[in-house]
Structure 1
Amino acid sequence: MELLLVIFLAILTVFVAIAFYYEHPKAEIPHGFSQRQKLYVFHYILNFVFGLAKFLEKVGITSELYFLRTIMDGIPPLKDKHLLIEDFKFEKVEVRIYQPKMATTGLRRGILYFHGGIGQLGSIRAYERTCCYFARKSNSVVVSVGYRLAPEHPYPSQFEDCLTATIHFMRTAQDYGVNPLRVIVCGDSSGGTLTAAVAQALVNRRDLPKLRAQILIYPFLQCVDFNLPSYQQNEGVPVLLKERALALGLRYLNKELSATEAVFKVSPIPEDLQLKYQKWVSPDHIPHEFKARGYKPSTTRPFSKELYTLVRPGFDPIFSPLLAEDSVIAQLPEAFILTCEFDVLRDDGLLYKKRLEDHGIKVTWCHLQEGFHGTVFLAVCGGVIAFQSGSKGLEKIVDFLGLM
């Protein structure tokens, strides 16, 4: 009898999860994508997971975020016999350090890695394979930062933890066999946001050595314009659908999800700030070749003071590093920026590249023509979920590290 009940509940769960799955927009993958069917399958599986997470929260079994975190943490860790892996605390921030066992002359480079997950997902465990890969392939000491997650620890706790860990490591780098002049910050997606924000926060510190470089992997960098060409062209391309990006971003800021619709009807930016931000965030700054797949200029929307008050925290450079003042941008370290053609965040990376180069900052740019959001993370996971674009991106990052 108990077995029948379990089977019944399992079948019910699947059918209800499927219903939630169909609430999501359908995938829109361009025909030129060589691994198109594979990405479709991955998209369907991912939507099903999101649907199941919603269902489990609706019926009171577990929260949506806890379920999604559990799924991510379920990626089997990769223990590398060539690495010494130890857990530490930098102040109150949990970190895991990956040190190559192979003997070397002199001090190594150090990499602080900030994982993605829109401030609510991801962990040291989920990114074990990523950090092992970079430590092994680049012969570097990698520090994976286990920053606190929202909503339990509201924004900007995530930035504060990453900054604390970075300062601690820069002061103690030699204790871990690292040259303090060869410290690099790196992150993917929202981890790229944190990377840019930490690099900006350190430009005026005279008590620390300068960062050697920053590596931004398909970063989120602004919440001023969600109608840039990449948002229009890739709104239905997995894995970061436009609707999903806005919803998770608002939840990260602890704001009402109903505001996602309002963002497209009214403007949350007063006229004086619009004029200021247009210098940095505008489709006019996107090269013409990135508009070839289609772009329709947005129409003028009326200003809403209510919406501005709601989303105002998002205009802080900690959340939107592309909005930092010129005096900060001009002092930033050398950068590696990875963008993906089929990613809503593509143009964020292109605009930041332009801002850095306009101020004389050296930028190494890697554009994955068949890349999509998350492809680098999937590549280190390996197996059937790895895509060719992600492997290419990993190789380019390691090549850049070799020059540092």
Structure 2
Amino acid sequence: MPLHAEARSLLALMEQIGAPPLDSLPPAQARAARRELAPPVLDPCHETVDLDAGGVPARLYRPEPGVDVPGLLVWYHGGGFVIGDLESHDNICHTLCRRSGHGVLSVDYRLAPEHPFPAGLDDCITATTWARDAAAELGFDPDRIAVGGDSAGGNLAAAVCHAAPIPIVHQMLIYPVTDARMGSASYEENAEGYFLTRSSMAWFVDHYLTGGAAEPDDPRVSVLLADDDALAAGPPALVITAGFDPLRDEGTAYAQRLAELGVATSHVHFPGHFHGFFSLGHMLADARAAHALAAQALADALAAPIAT
């Protein structure tokens, strides 16, 4: 399938603007550039509050009253483990909260290279554990906790599921990083020209692993390489991939492996879109469709009977 017409127009606009590639900038400048592009909020939720999640900064999104005791999605933002923050993905968290009727806790984990692996993952595990401990006091069901994220955040969500610090009922993985070895065919097919480039991914991975605590084939980094037991023990999953994305094949492979191991897995592919499209609901109709799909899958998972 060719690139979707809306996606093609948006990429042409980006090229016309001529912003420098992220991997040509120091991390602090790359973060500032990303911050300037934070998308607007289209679907504001009932209320937000910034809080401390066990020592990790976070933002809680509350839904309109409706569900008796809502569940909670713990969200880890994308940005290659190097950029992104609570503001960069504020629009996604508002939308998922409003459309699902459940709460969202967005985690502002530490970023590389100042805080290389495993600092960000440790923060995500800490905040997720805190979320369950604090859920009842905050008005959420502690037995209905989901995790999710996009890109690097999808990697962190999968890694949290492997670590299993608490019972998790659903994992939402939006074009996740699952294989930091960067050897799939989609890295060659989509190396340039579709927002996320091969060189940018190499820049992200190099910064994430700069501390020397792991190699790209460590299953805590390349979650696709986790053993069967860790994957099979995970919660039901929604995996969204995009056709013009270097990460396409590894996301597909991860969804296939989950399904083969008996994990209830929905893999939804958007063949005409590029990495990052999920953040662009103000520009792309398919992004809004993906939000609706993800929010409904979340609502269904959080309303399902709890397995005993």
% identical equivalent positions = 30
What aligned pairs does 1:46-85 form with structure 2 within 5 A after superposition?
48-50=19-21, 54=24, 64-74=26-36, 75=38, 78=41, 82-85=45-48
**Contact 2:135–2:141 (CA<8 Å) still a contact in 1?**
yes
Taking only aligned residues, the RMSD between alpha carbons, in angstroms, comes to 2.3
Per-residue deviation, 1:389: 2.8
- 1:38 correspondence with 2:1: no
Q: For 2:85, which of 123, 131, 136 is the aligned residue? A: 123
State TM-score, norm by structure 1: 0.69
* CA deviation map 1:174-213 (0-9, x unaligned): 11221122211010000000000001100xx5xx4x2110
Aligned to 2:304: none
What secondary structure does 2:5 align onto?
coil
Q: For 2:248, which of 346, 349, 373 is the aligned residue? A: 346
Structure 1 range deviating more: 121-130 or 386-395: 386-395
Aligned to 2:131: 169
**Contact 2:154–2:172 (CA<8 Å) still a contact in 1?**
yes
- 1:335 correspondence with 2:237: yes
Aligned to 1:236: 192
Q: For 1:221, which of 167, 178, 183 is the aligned residue? A: 178
Larger helix percent: 1
Per-residue deviation, 1:82: 4.8
**Contact 1:216–1:338 (CA<8 Å) still a contact in 2?**
yes
Per-residue deviation, 1:73: 2.4
Distance in 2 between residues matched to 1:312 and 1:85, nearest whole Å: 36
Aligned to 2:299: 402
Distance in 2 between residues matched to 1:81 and 1:251, nearest whole Å: 34
Aligned to 2:56: 93
Change (3 A) 1:77 1:232: closer
- 1:155 correspondence with 2:111: no
**Contact 2:191–2:198 (CA<8 Å) still a contact in 1?**
yes
Change (3 A) 1:247 1:141: same
- 1:251 correspondence with 2:207: yes
**Greater relative contact order (Cα 8 A, min sep 6): structure 1 or 2?**
2
* CA deviation map 1:355-394 (0-9, x unaligned): 1111110001111021210000122xx1xxx223322221
**Contact 1:43–1:238 (CA<8 Å) still a contact in 2?**
no
What aligned pairs does 1:203-352 form with structure 2 within 5 A after superposition?
208=166, 210-224=167-181, 226-254=182-210, 313-352=215-254
What secondary structure does 2:280 align onto?
helix
Aligned to 2:305: none
**Contact 2:44–2:94 (CA<8 Å) still a contact in 1?**
no
What secondary structure does 1:315 align onto?
coil
Change (3 A) 1:196 1:98: same
Q: For 2:270, which of 334, 353, 368 is the aligned residue? A: 368
Gaps of 5+ in 2: 302-308
Distance in 2 between residues matched to 1:311 and 1:103, nearest whole Å: 44
**Contact 2:157–2:171 (CA<8 Å) still a contact in 1?**
yes
State TM-score, norm by structure 2: 0.90
Distance in 2 between residues matched to 1:211 and 1:353, nearest whole Å: 17
**Contact 2:34–2:84 (CA<8 Å) still a contact in 1?**
yes
Change (3 A) 1:144 1:216: same
Amino acid at match of 2:103: V
Aligned to 1:305: none
Distance in 2 between residues matched to 1:97 and 1:77, nearest whole Å: 18
Distance in 2 between residues matched to 1:214 and 1:336, nearest whole Å: 6
Aligned to 2:306: none
